[in-house]
């Protein structure tokens, strides 16, 4: 949305519809474009844990089911190279590299801002090591790891292990290539590289210039191969994560970042711990929190059941630091307030329950809508009129106004619709009269 003119009951809105470089009236969502697209891009939807193509759908069930070209990453659009593979394979003729942003205007009686929130980036918290310790992930990343349609098919593979597996894959390719490079010499000198290497080492032969080159290449090859073997040995012992630490209030209830409580994260962690146990029966989960705020309908009961049936241990207190121990295992340092002792718990993976931050760009939107934000950057409302913003005719619901869980967001969405309907119906009645 770029512009709002007029007043409650008679707003004129200007919206920019960004070019997706695919004609949404033609695209059938078949996906053959993405299959053939040569460019892979880090997949934001899977929290960077997987890759997608430069022509993509954000997620499989997205509505409308239409592909979009990620222009900066596209060879043709972003990098000035010749490509156009997607346009060639598209049977519907939907790809349109010439598509431009569209400016759309329309008239409405009321506006509802339901822009949601954004997950806090925990890399600014030095003591939790996010971004430095591979096996410290956010709750949303963990959500993708738990998902059957996620990057690991729902297996709790550890990021450090995935990294190693990826390195093994790449090393294998390199070893293969280097091995082929050695073949030329082996055929010419009619000897295996290793055998010749032994002779050189023992001083039995003195290599000529070409043989020196051979041996240099062989040394590189042998180095890679031994690294590959050691990695493969390490990988043979890899197991899914079974010891999980969930850290609450990451960025929330923290004066350095957001002093407020994000409301939903306690239940999110409990849910993730319960699902992890369903996926893998050996799972042991520890939830570290100052208070476990299970305040919705059925939530307390769910939390208690998580303890009894899924073996979740709830540990009171704020975690002081996370360091990396042996085998890429994070160590969680905390004070056990029940016994007043500082302890370190070694786990396979740490999950950070990150705060609910105001949506990116909400300040700009507030300027366009001419509404006030609160001191944290959420849309300002008041307890007696919880859906009304500071401007008549502009309403808000969900996490745009403050952190809240799904049932409350759904209830509020209906409420905001009611406020908007009251206004629009009354104006229509006046016009009729």
Exactly one of 8, 119, 140, 304 binds another protein (CB under 8 A); that residue is 304
β-bridge mates for residue 3, sequence order: 14
Number of residues that bind another protein (CB under 8 A): 63
- Give the C-alpha separation, 57 to 70, whole Å: 10
- Tokens read off for 136: 């410290």
CB of 11 to another protein, least distance (A): 19
Exactly one of 16, 102, 376, 392 binds another protein (CB under 8 A); that residue is 376
- Give the C-alpha separation, 10 to 184, whole Å: 79
- Tokens read off for 62: 């997205």
The residue with tokens 């934001």 is 44
Exactly one of 170, 363, 370, 374 binds another protein (CB under 8 A); that residue is 374
Interacting residues of 340 by C-beta distance below 8 A, sequence separation 6+: none
248 membership: H or E segment, kind and range:
strand 243-250
Exactly one of 204, 340, 430, 433 binds another protein (CB under 8 A); that residue is 340
Q: Which DSSP string do the residues of 7-72 spell out, in sequence order? A: ETTEEEEEEEE---SB-TTT-----HHHHH---EEE-TTTTTSSEEESEE-SSTT-SS---EE-GG
Q: Is 119 in the site for another protein (CB under 8 A)?
A: no
Distances in whole angstroms, Cα of residue 16 to Cα of each of 103, 109, 112, 138, 176: 5, 19, 17, 33, 51
x-or-dash string of contact with another protein, 209-248, rule CB under 8 A: ----------------------------------------
Give Dmax (Cα) for the chain: 110
Q: Is 426 in the site for another protein (CB under 8 A)?
A: yes
User: Considering beta carbons, is residue 194 or 410 the nearer one to another protein?
Assistant: 410
Q: Is 206 in the site for another protein (CB under 8 A)?
A: no
Q: Among the candidate windows 104-112, 137-145, 193-201, 383-391, which touches another protein by CB under 8 A?
A: 383-391
User: Considering beta carbons, is residue 230 or 426 the nearer one to another protein?
Assistant: 426
Q: Judge residue 127's burial from the number of C-beta atoms within 10 Å of its C-beta, 0-12 exposed, 13-18 middle, 19 or more buried.
A: exposed
Per the CB < 8 A criterion, the answer to whether 50 and 139 are in contact is no
Exactly one of 63, 204, 342, 433 binds another protein (CB under 8 A); that residue is 63
Give, as one character, the DSSP assignment of residue 340: T
Q: Among the candidate windows 88-96, 135-143, 164-172, 299-307, which touches another protein by CB under 8 A?
A: 299-307
- Give the C-alpha separation, 197 to 225, whole Å: 15
- Give the C-alpha separation, 93 to 2, whole Å: 31
Exactly one of 337, 363, 370, 392 binds another protein (CB under 8 A); that residue is 337
Exactly one of 6, 38, 84, 298 binds another protein (CB under 8 A); that residue is 298
Exactly one of 20, 52, 158, 253 binds another protein (CB under 8 A); that residue is 253
- Tokens read off for 394: 């502009």
Q: Judge residue 399's burial from the number of C-beta atoms within 10 Å of its C-beta, 0-12 exposed, 13-18 middle, 19 or more buried.
A: buried
User: Considering beta carbons, is residue 266 or 365 the nearer one to another protein?
Assistant: 266
Exactly one of 28, 40, 216, 230 binds another protein (CB under 8 A); that residue is 28
Q: Is 421 in the site for another protein (CB under 8 A)?
A: yes
Q: Is 422 in the site for another protein (CB under 8 A)?
A: yes
Q: Is 419 in the site for another protein (CB under 8 A)?
A: yes
Per the CB < 8 A criterion, the answer to whether 56 and 68 are in contact is yes
CB of 112 to another protein, least distance (A): 11
User: Considering beta carbons, is residue 108 or 231 the nearer one to another protein?
Assistant: 108
- Give the C-alpha separation, 40 to 364, whole Å: 32
Helical spans, DSSP H, in 256-405: 265-279, 299-309, 362-369
> With the CA atoms of 253, 254, 258 and 260 taken in that order, what torsion angle do they form, in degrees rounded to the nearest 10?
20
User: Considering beta carbons, is residue 34 or 140 the nearer one to another protein?
Assistant: 34
Q: Is 363 in the site for another protein (CB under 8 A)?
A: no
Exactly one of 10, 91, 149, 176 binds another protein (CB under 8 A); that residue is 149
Q: Is 320 in the site for another protein (CB under 8 A)?
A: no
- Give the C-alpha separation, 315 to 298, whole Å: 21
User: Considering beta carbons, is residue 60 or 235 the nearer one to another protein?
Assistant: 60
CB of 18 to another protein, least distance (A): 20
Residues of span 274-293 touching another protein by CB under 8 A = 291-293
Q: Is 55 in the site for another protein (CB under 8 A)?
A: no
Q: Name the residues that contact another protein, by CB under 8 A.
A: 28-31, 60-65, 148-149, 153-154, 253, 259-261, 263, 291-301, 304, 316, 337-338, 340, 374, 376, 378, 383-387, 402-404, 406-408, 410-415, 417-419, 421-422, 425-426, 429
């Amino acid at each position: 949305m770029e512009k709002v003119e007029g007043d409650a009951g008679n707003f004129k809105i200007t919206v920019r519809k960004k070019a997706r470089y695919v004609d949404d009236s033609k695209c059938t969502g078949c996906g053959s474009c993405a299959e053939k697209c040569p460019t892979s891009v880090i997949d934001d939807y899977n929290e960077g844990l997987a890759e997608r193509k430069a022509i993509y759908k954000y997620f499989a069930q997205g509505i409308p089911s239409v592909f979009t070209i990620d222009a900066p990453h596209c060879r043709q659009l972003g990098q000035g190279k010749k490509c156009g593979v997607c346009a060639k394979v598209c049977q519907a003729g939907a790809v349109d590299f010439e598509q431009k942003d569209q400016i759309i205007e329309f008239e409405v009686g009321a506006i509802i801002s339901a822009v949601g929130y954004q997950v806090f980036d925990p890399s600014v918290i030095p003591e939790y090591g996010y971004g430095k310790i591979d096996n410290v992930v956010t709750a949303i990343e963990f959500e993708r790891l738990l998902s059957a349609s996620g990057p690991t098919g729902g297996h709790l593979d550890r990021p450090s292990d995935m990294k190693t597996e990826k390195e093994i894959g790449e090393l294998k390719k390199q070893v293969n290539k280097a091995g082929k490079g050695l073949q030329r010499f082996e055929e010419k000198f009619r000897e295996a590289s290793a055998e010749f290497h032994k002779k050189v080492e023992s001083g039995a032969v003195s290599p000529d210039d070409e043989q020196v080159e051979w041996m240099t290449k062989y040394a590189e090859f042998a180095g890679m191969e031994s690294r590959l073997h050691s990695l493969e040995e390490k990988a043979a012992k890899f197991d899914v994560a079974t010891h999980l630490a969930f850290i609450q209030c990451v960025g929330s209830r923290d004066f350095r970042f957001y002093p407020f409580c994000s409301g939903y994260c306690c239940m999110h962690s409990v849910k993730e711990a319960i699902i992890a146990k369903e996926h893998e029966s050996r799972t042991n989960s520890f939830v570290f929190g100052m208070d476990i705020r299970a305040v919705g309908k059925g939530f307390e009961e769910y939390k208690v059941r998580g303890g009894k049936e899924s073996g979740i241990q709830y540990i009171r207190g704020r975690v002081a630091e996370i360091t990396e121990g042996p085998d890429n295992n994070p160590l969680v340092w905390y004070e056990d307030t029940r016994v007043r002792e500082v302890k370190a718990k070694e786990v396979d993976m740490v999950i950070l329950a990150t705060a609910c931050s105001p949506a990116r760009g909400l300040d700009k939107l507030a300027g366009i809508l001419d509404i006030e934000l609160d001191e944290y950057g959420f849309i300002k409302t008041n307890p007696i009129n919880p859906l009304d913003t500071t401007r008549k005719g502009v309403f808000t619901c969900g996490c745009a106004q403050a952190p809240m869980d799904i049932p409350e967001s759904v209830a509020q969405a209906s409420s905001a619709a009611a406020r908007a309907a009251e206004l629009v119906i009354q104006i229509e009645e006046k016009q009729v009269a």
